[in-house]
Amino acid sequence: MLIKTDSSGFNHPVPSEITAQGIYQERRKLIKLMATGTAGAALAGWAGRDAMAQAVQKPGKLDTLAGAKSAAAGAVTMEKVTDYKDATTYNNYYEFGTDKADPAKNASTLPVKPWSIAVEGLVKNPRSFTLEELLKLSPQEERIYRLRCVEGWSMVIPWVGYSLSELIKKVEPLGSAKYVEFVTLADPKTMPFVGSRVLEWPYVEALRLDEAMHPLALLTFGMYGEVLPNQNGAPVRMVVPWKYGFKSGKSIVKIRFTDKEPRTAWNKAAAQEYGFYSNVNPLVDHPRWSQATERRIGEDGLFAKKRKTLMYNGYEAQVGQLYAGMDLKKNF
């Protein structure tokens, strides 16, 4: 039989299935675009559409602090943003208590106004900045970062702020400056747990200067499109997304440039457990527990397995070169 039919396996396309010539030629054009590298720009718009899909909901609790979309590499994760309620009622801020429900209960007394940060040490222009000056120092950006706590839980939080490097450039560190120290508020009158034996007060954190200059190191003034709630470190804090949460000091009052590695709060309390770097690293366990996995708050339900922790909290592409050649087991 020479006549082929459906039953003998020959399928003649119906007209609606035939690609129109115009579209077929578009496809050629797209391939040409890719070949010439312009597709990157075209795809950026498409990726942007995805980012728009999870526009951050403003909780409507505090003053608005809008931030433009950040252009820094790695600054906006596509992961589901943690509920504002969870992010503001479950966190550590030991000046207000060691339980993670304490800060939300006790931090209303934090004296956020007036506020200023003194910048001192090895810089050409040591000076004090009022909060108002800091807010205007550089355009505010929205950054959606993963946050990994050393205790083994994580969140995704939309912060508002700008790269700390903007402030550092203004004060011009001297050639001898190697480290940046962040001193946070310790006011026993308004912070009920300042004076407790857990840590030495004030709570001090620090970064190497090149870490502090990294565009992802964020001087932070807001979250979820509004100013920071007291319990999350109002009115100004650091957010260093590739390090465990405690490296990001809250309610900062002093930034000091030094030539020696500063002793940081948790390092002073337990040096064998909390190193200076404290980069998120699933391969280096805390002496008392594993760091290989984490529970994503609000997402990994009661019955879900914990998720794997990522090297540098998923920011390896951006920050890995800062630690090239270093022994991460020794420099934990």
Partner 1 sequence: MVAWIAGRQKMLLHRAAKPLVFLLCLLPFVWLFYQAFSDQLGANPAEALIRATGDWTLRFVCIVLAVTPLRVIGKTPALARFRRMLGLFVYFYVVVHLLSYSWFDMGFDVAEIVKDIIKRPFILVGFSAFVLLTPLAATSFNAAIKAMGPKRWQLLHKLVYLIAGLGILHFFWMRAGKNNFNEVFVYAAVVAALLGWRVWSHWSKQRKLEHIRKAVGAH
When asked if residue 285 is in the footprint of partner 1 (CB under 8 A), the reply is: yes
- Window of 34-42, 73-81, 97-105, 228-236 that interacts with partner 1 by CB under 8 A: 97-105
When asked if residue 303 is in the footprint of partner 1 (CB under 8 A), the reply is: yes
Distance in Å, CB of 305 to partner 1, minimum: 4
Paired sense of beta strands 204-208 and 252-258, if any? unpaired
**From the list 51, 56, 72, 86, which residue makes contact with partner 1 (rule: CB under 8 A)?**
86
**From the list 257, 297, 313, 323, which residue makes contact with partner 1 (rule: CB under 8 A)?**
297
When asked if residue 308 is in the footprint of partner 1 (CB under 8 A), the reply is: no
**From the list 49, 189, 197, 308, which residue makes contact with partner 1 (rule: CB under 8 A)?**
197
Distance in Å, CB of 159 to partner 1, minimum: 18
Paired sense of beta strands 127-130 and 179-184, if any? unpaired
Structure tokens at 194: 């300042």
Of 237 and 296, nearer to partner 1 (C-beta) is 296
* Closest of 332, 311, 329 to residue 320, by C-alpha: 311
- Is there a contact between 86 and 156 (Cβ–Cβ < 8 Å)? no
For residue 160, the cross-strand partners are 142, 222
When asked if residue 283 is in the footprint of partner 1 (CB under 8 A), the reply is: no
- Is there a contact between 226 and 59 (Cβ–Cβ < 8 Å)? yes
Of 47 and 198, nearer to partner 1 (C-beta) is 198
For residue 218, the cross-strand partners are 163, 239
- Distances from the Cα of 135 to the Cα of 69, 130, 219, 228, 250, angstroms: 17, 9, 10, 12, 16
Q: Which residues bind partner 1 (CB under 8 A)?
A: 85-86, 89-90, 98-101, 153, 196-198, 269, 285, 288-290, 295, 297-298, 301-303, 305-306
